[in-house]
Structure 1
Amino acid sequence: MFKIVLKITITILLITLTLPNVFAGDVKGIRFWQDPEKTRLVFDVSESVKYKLFTLDEPYRLVVDIEDAQLKMNIAKVEIPNQLVKEIRSSQQEQTLRIVIDLKKGVSTKDFTLKPFQDYGHRLVVDLRDKNAKKQIVKTAASAIKEKNRDIIIAIDAGHGGEDPGAIGRKKTREKNITLAVAKRLEKLINAEKGLKAFLTRTSDYYVGLEKRTQLARQNKADLFISLHADGFKDPKVRGASVWVLSSKGANSEMGKWLEKREKSSDLLGGVESLSNKDPLVAQVLLDLSMHYSVGASINAAERVRKELSKKMSKMHGKSLRKAAFIVLRMPDIPAMLVEMAFISNPQEEKRLKTKKQQMKIAKSILTGVKSYFKSHPPDGSFYASLAKSQVYKVKNGDTLSQIAQSFGVSMQQLKSHNKLKSNNLRIGQTLTIPGV
């Protein structure tokens, strides 16, 4: 009996020794995403993995050890961003795969894993940030605030990005790419308008957290926040554009959150008042007034955009504004809207969304609606406000038609046509009306 047991044991041992190593997960891909604040490193893995990472100095390195894993891709073909990373290399230490990232400078790291989502499988994500980097603020927006008769600042938020593709059409069109394309077209149109200045919450294919998007709008003192999206639904027949604003339930919920954190928060209410030093009742009243204004202004601006879209789009989804508690709309100090440009899940609308013609049609409609809103609701101190207050001008000694036109930001031909002037000659005391922007 003992001999039989010994034979079985030896046999099992021999089989075990001759079997190849069994690995729990394979690294199938390594990718980098670059945005203005960080470099994101993504490991595509076959299943959820155990790992540990650490950084080293002199020279700067990031070391990632993944347990029970093997490298199943050509690491030499990984595209390396030039901001922080110098080189990437790997080694196998028994059951542990070691990835070494040679860095140009010291970094701070944040790591997490992601479960499969749409086209992506399991992922290990590591965010790298330059330890000494200063936070970037959009210069064009910040400088515009300081000017007399300042520009109106409009935050354009291209939905999704990076690891978040958004909705995906039947022809594999990704929402994140469409929203960025339209955002860039809209930014260009807005920046061509005197008195308006736009900035993008993301400028290329990287992910920005939802709360970070609203923080960027607040940091840059935006007067309006526009988030662009392309809807998706299981029924490919559903189609049409829609415009969304914050629901009353979402507004009340957000107001409660702000009041709860008011002692710790350094956020300014409307850029003027701080909640942290206010009596609780006063803080509630101030926030209620601000939220009431923000929601009302959002509805007004969004309705004008919806009206313009309805003129140009083949189909609108719904006959009025839609309301929801989207995170990017929850701002008590900045009017905000979310524009669903079409259903990317509808084959016809997916095809149109990819064209320059359709993207420009959407961007121009939004711009027209925005201009219409700010003509009737110009922010204090803005160029639009100065035009609203100076619709009539009385000619003084030394005035010329070209000087007057330039001071009001209109062309001389516009001024002549608006006042039905047959020549450039003016007389002292003559009253001119100034055309709107």
Structure 2
Amino acid sequence: MRLSEKGDERVRAVFELSAAPEHELFTLSDPERVVVDLADTALELDSLPRGGLVRRIRTGRQGDGTLRVVLDLKKAADTRSFVIGPGGGRGHRLVVDLLPQDGDGRRVVHSAADRERQVVVAIDAGHGGVDPGAIGANGTHEKDVVLAVARRLASILEDKPHLKPVLIREGDYYIGLRDRTRKADRQGADIFLSLHADASESSRVDGASVYALSLDGASSEQARMLARQGNAPDFISEISLQGRDPELQTVLLELSRGSTIETSLEMGNHLLTKLDLHADLLHGRVHQAGFAVLKSLDMPSVLIELGFITNPREERRLKDPNYQYKLAAGIASGVSEYARENLLPDLRQASGSREHVVHRGETLSGIARRYDVSTEKLRSANDLSGDRINAGAKLTIP
């Protein structure tokens, strides 16, 4: 087990495990504690770390043999947890994040829901300026096609409630890969979409596709080739990702990438379903590859290939404003659906009451603060005797 401080008193506890963990996470008050129960687990440590919000860490065994790890906190904190599978020469990892609260009992690091329930969508039109991207047989430049679709996508998203589009590239100029992600971070983006048009040595290959980041290698030969093509342009402006950004030097590009990849794949599935209504698909599922433009992002992020510009039929379609609008509409629909289900508060009206679906890593106290109700009222409304809740459970919000 190790702790790492993330700034603003945020703390990440990482449990290195030999197998997929069966665990429970919950919080206790007076004094403030975070409890992690691990079944069939032994802790191999001479001393337990501490720092940031964590005043000390204690361990013990429950009657059934479960290992209990108690993190005594300096003050109240929200928690989240996720599991990363084996990869990069490492085994399973359980990650527990502690998120500090301000004086009013709310998180310092605000979610999209806290920002007046508005989700910021960063739309990155690939290439630009001196980098035309792929070029079709009739001279169509990838950079022009993706910018046109990006503008149409932004226009559609502007009309959707709770969504705020941000164009990373607004004209025909080049932006380095890291500068693209920096702009998304500065704008407070919750979602990152990188738009591209594909290329192949064969003019017969066609179809749109969606890719998420991979830490353990590409999921197909096409994905490997795209990653090589997509990462190369960063050296046009003499920006070397290697050695420039410490985040990109870590073995797993920060452990949070595991959670980000999971959410990116989920969002990608929403996008594929909607794109399939308007375009031919190259793949029936989201593929993965090591795209540099996605590696520095701590948000759901995908790279969308709108089609093969090297296919004459698809090149004509990609130049057609009506088809560009259809592609943008499909992407907008997928993004809206994903945001509504995952990033916006899960509120439903049921007999005049609100309902929340518990997601993995959430705590009862955190949900109570999210809806500005007391933990006691939340327990009473749901006939709960304690603070333990299971992912997938539906809670009535009083």
TM-score, length of structure 1 as denominator length: 0.47
1:173 deviation in Å? Answer: 0.6
1:307 CA drift (Å) = 1.3
Aligned counterparts of 1:165 and 1:261: Cα–Cα separation in 2: 25
Q: Is the 8 A contact 1:245 1:298 kept in 2?
A: yes
- SS of 2:120 mapped into structure 1: strand
- Tell me which of 326, 329, 337 is aligned to 1:372: 337
1:181 corresponds to 2:148: yes
CA distance in 1 between counterparts of 2:252 and 2:295 reads 18
Q: CA deviation at 1:321?
A: 1.4
Partner of 1:296: 262
Return the offset for 1:302: 0.6
How far apart are the structure 1 equivalents of 2:196 and 2:141?
A: 11
Residue 201 of structure 1, CA deviation = 0.7
Match of 1:212 in 2: 179
From 206, 209, 216, the equivalent of 1:242 is 209
Counterparts in 2 of 1:190 and 1:393: CA distance versus 1, 3 Å: farther
Q: Does 1:230 align with 2:197?
A: yes
User: Structure 2 vs 1, CA of residues 194 and 249 (structure 1 numbering), >3 Å: closer, same or farther?
Assistant: same
Which entry has the higher C-alpha Rg, 1 or 2?
A: 1
Q: How big is the shift at 1:393?
A: 7.1
CA distance in 2, matches of 1:323, 1:297: 13
| 2:358 is the alignment partner of 1:391 | no
Q: Is it true that 1:346 corresponds to 2:311 in the alignment?
A: yes
Work out whether 1:191 is the aligned partner of 2:158: yes
Question: Relative to 1, partners in 2 of residues 1:332 and 1:202: Cα closer, same or farther, differing over 3 Å?
Answer: closer
Give the letter for the 1:391 counterpart.
Answer: Q
1:314-337 deviation line (CA, Å, top 9, x unaligned): x21122212110111113511110
Partner of 1:152: 119
Contact 1:294/1:331, CA 8 A, preserved across alignment: no
Structure 1 stretches of 4+ moved >3 Å: 144-148, 283-287, 392-395
Give the Cα–Cα distance (whole angstroms) in 2 for the partners of residues 234 and 285 of structure 1: 32
Instruction: Measure, in 1, the Cα distance between the counterparts of 2:284 and 2:190.
Output: 27
CA distance in 2, matches of 1:298, 1:189: 21
Which residue of structure 1 aligns with residue 381 of structure 2?
none
Aligned amino acid, residue 202 of structure 1 = R
Whether the 8 Å contact between 2:253 and 2:296 is mirrored in structure 1 is no
Instruction: State the alpha-carbon separation in 2 of the partners of residues 286 and 209 from structure 1.
Output: 19
CA-to-partner distance for each residue in 1:226-250, whole Å, 9 max, x for gaps? 0001111121111111101111326
How far off is 1:389 after superposition? 2.7
Checking the alignment, whether the CA contact within 8 Å between 1:243 and 1:306 is kept in structure 2 is: yes
Q: Relative contact order: is structure 1 or structure 2 higher (C-alpha 8 Å, sep ≥ 6)?
A: 2
**CA shift digits 1:52-96 (9 cap, x unpaired):** xxxxxxxxxxxxxxxxxxxxxxxxxxxxxxxxxxxxxxxxxxxxx
> SS at the partner of 1:239?
coil
**CA shift digits 1:350-402 (9 cap, x unpaired):** 00111111101100111111111112102xxxxx32xx23534749xxxxxxx
Q: Output the aligned Cα RMSD.
A: 3.3
- The aligned amino acid for 2:342 is H
Deviations 1:412-432 (A, max 9, x none): xxxxxxxxxxxxxxxxxxxxx
Tell me the residue number matched to 1:305. Answer: 271
What do the CA deviations read for 1:143-196 (whole angstroms, capped 9, x no partner)? x97985241000000011000000011110100000000000000101111100
Evaluate the alpha carbon distance shift between residue 233 and residue 196 of structure 1 in structure 2; reply closer, same or farther with a 3 A threshold: same
CA separation in 1, counterparts of 2:273 and 2:169?
A: 27
Relative to structure 1, the CA distance from residue 239 to residue 148 in structure 2 (aligned partners, 3 Å threshold; closer, same or farther) is closer
2:164 partner SS = strand
Q: Tell me which residue corresponds to 1:139.
A: none
> Structure 1 residues 390 and 214, CA, compared in 2 at 3 Å: closer, same or farther?
same
Check whether the contact 2:181–2:297 (CA below 8 A) recurs between aligned residues: no
CA offset digits 1:259-318 (Å, max 9, x no partner): x989x78x9xxxxxxxxxxxxxxx999931x212100110000111011111221x2112
> 1:48 matched to which residue of 2?
none
In structure 2, the partner of 1:319 is 284
One-letter code of the match for 2:199?
G
**Residues 32-431 of structure 1 mapped to structure 2, 5 A cutoff:** 148-249=115-216, 287-288=254-255, 290-313=256-279, 315-378=280-343, 384-385=344-345, 388-389=346-347, 391-392=349-350, 394=352
Question: Retained in 1: the 8 A contact 2:112–2:190?
Answer: no
Distance 1:208 1:150, change over 3 A: same
Could you tell me how far apart the structure 2 residues matched to 1:250 and 1:190 are?
A: 33
Q: d(CA) in 1 for partners of 2:166 and 2:347?
A: 27
Higher helix share: 1
* Residues 194 and 303 in structure 2, CA contact (< 8 A), matched pair in contact too: yes
- Structure 2 length normalisation: TM-score? 0.51
CA distance in 2, matches of 1:227, 1:309: 15
**Residue 250 of structure 1 contacts residue 330 of structure 1 at CA under 8 Å; is this kept in 2?**
no
Identity %: 37
For residues 176 and 116 of structure 2, the distance between their equivalents in structure 1, rounded to whole angstroms, comes to 33
SS in 2 for 1:389: coil
